[in-house]
Amino acid sequence: MLPILQRLSTGPRGAVRALVLAPTRELASQIHNEIGTLARFSGARSTTIFGGVSAQAQIRALRDRPDIVVACPGRLLDLWQSKDVRLDKVEVLVLDEADHMFDMGFLPTVKRILAALPKRRQNLMFSATMPDEIRGLASHVLDHPHVIELAHSQPLETIEHALYTVDETRKTDLLCHVLGESDFSSAIVFLRTKHRAKRLAQRLDDLGYSAVALQGNMSQSQRERAMGGFRSGRFNVLVATDIAARGIDVEGVSHVINYDLPGTPEAYTHRIGRTGRSERLGKARTFVTGADHDGIRAIERKLGAPIPRLTAAGLDSRPPSPRRRPAQRGPEPRGPAQRDPGRAHTARARQAGGPVHSHVSRQPRAHAADENFGEGVLEHRPARAESPVQHTRSEPAPRRVHAEPSHHRAQQRPERGAPQSTRREHGTGGAHARPHAAPARGQRSAGGHARTDKGARKSSRRSRR
């Protein structure tokens, strides 16, 4: 900021000549405070513009025509569209934390703000991390830039960093173990999501720790109260996300704990850089689960060296036991053996070459085609001679035709002159024999006799006698 303040010391006053864009309110407030300290005797004035608070106080500050505006992109675009701020006199544009400025979805808003600025201006971009894809995007914003990189991938030598392998369900217990170390004074705990950060801070508070959360759903007054309490020592554990923690600059942080593994190697370097400042020693601890090994390998490749591993008694994660493959089974037998355990047992015995013992007493099937069904799975016993009709489970037994009582036979006895074929033949056809129907008039019966009206009349006379 010193070169910018020197440039603003000469030239016209009463217009916004320097614009600083930051991704978070905390970072914008911190930049504004630093400008106030550096520009105390220069006469340059600055103001902040960001969401989460009433816009009326910011509009009144803009009417005083400050020289420097430190803003978040969303609220600045709203005030520019309402003509409460003019950007046509800007000489210097600063994009702080440029990678997250583009990565957090601010790119469309930033492009609209850039279109409202003068074509001739100086552009400055600052970022602790600069991935290759963001670097290519920034090249479209800057015109033949000069790039300065200062050990962007190597952590400070004053930081002692290490990994803990732990199950997901034991992370909180391991966190309490790390916070109980003798050299602990204050810590920043990083998580991926704001909801997890809020729950963890509440959990630590219930366990007796002076913990506070810093996440996106908090109002500006809550954020300021949390940061003020952490700086003053009222809270010694700050649970935050990467986005909310951008721009946090607190002296004397002894521990940085990655409760959740950062998404990129650059983010890892940025996180652990919150400790070990001003030639002070600091510790960085990272909790790793089974799903984080690929991310750890990427971080170690970026650093060019392996990260030391530590263990905590009773809290280290053990590799899962190998899963046993189920025994290979042959295809399920089809037919009766699938429903009959006795047949299945006999089939297994025959496949093994041992003796076959059938323990299921079943009657054989009535048809020869059924005897081969299942290919000899069941031994059939010989049928008893006294049962001429065999029954099966699936077929009902045929009805036997019994001899009729004597009184019925007397009533239905054929006439003496009638042919023998009209009588019931119980002995020749067995149970399936059926009586033959009497032939019609003029037809010849099976025995060769013809039924005539004369013979019928004679029979009638004999019966009356």
Residues 387-398 have pLDDT tens digits of: 444 444 444 555
Which domains, from first to last, does the chain contain? 2-141 (3.40.50.300), 159-310 (3.40.50.300)
Tens digit of pLDDT for each residue in 271-302?
888 888 877 889 999 999 988 989 999 998 88
Query: What pLDDT, on the 0 to 100 scale, is given for residue 60?
Result: 94
Rounded mean pLDDT of 313-331?
Answer: 54
Query: What pLDDT, on the 0 to 100 scale, is given for residue 360?
Result: 45
Q: How many angstroms separate the CA atoms of 1 and 41, rounded?
A: 14
Q: Higher confidence at residue 435 or residue 143?
A: 143
CB 282 within 8 A of CB 276: yes
The arrangement of strands across the sheet holding 92-96 comes to 46-49, 68-71, 18-21, 92-96, 122-126
437: pLDDT strictly greater than 80 = no
Encoded tokens for 415: 């006439």
N residues, the chain? 465
Rounded mean pLDDT of 188-194?
Answer: 92
Query: What pLDDT, on the 0 to 100 scale, is given for residue 142?
Result: 77
Q: Higher confidence at residue 125 or residue 442?
A: 125
Tens digit of pLDDT for each residue in 197-222?
999 999 999 999 999 998 878 888 88
Task: Report the chain's mean pLDDT, rounded to a whole number.
Answer: 75
Tens digit of pLDDT for each residue in 367-392?
444 434 334 444 444 444 444 444 44
Q: Higher confidence at residue 76 or residue 396?
A: 76
For every residue of 37-81, DSSP letters joined together read HHTTTT---EEEE-SSS-HHHHHHHHHT--SEEEE-HHHHHHHHH
**Is the model's pTM score more than 0.85?**
no
Mapping DSSP to helix (H, G, I), strand (E, B) and coil, where does residue 118 land? coil
| Least confident span in 132-136, 276-280, 306-310, 430-434 | 430-434
Tens digit of pLDDT for each residue in 94-126?
998 877 777 667 888 988 998 999 989 998 888
Tens digit of pLDDT for each residue in 218-257?
888 888 899 889 989 999 999 998 876 666 778 889 999 9
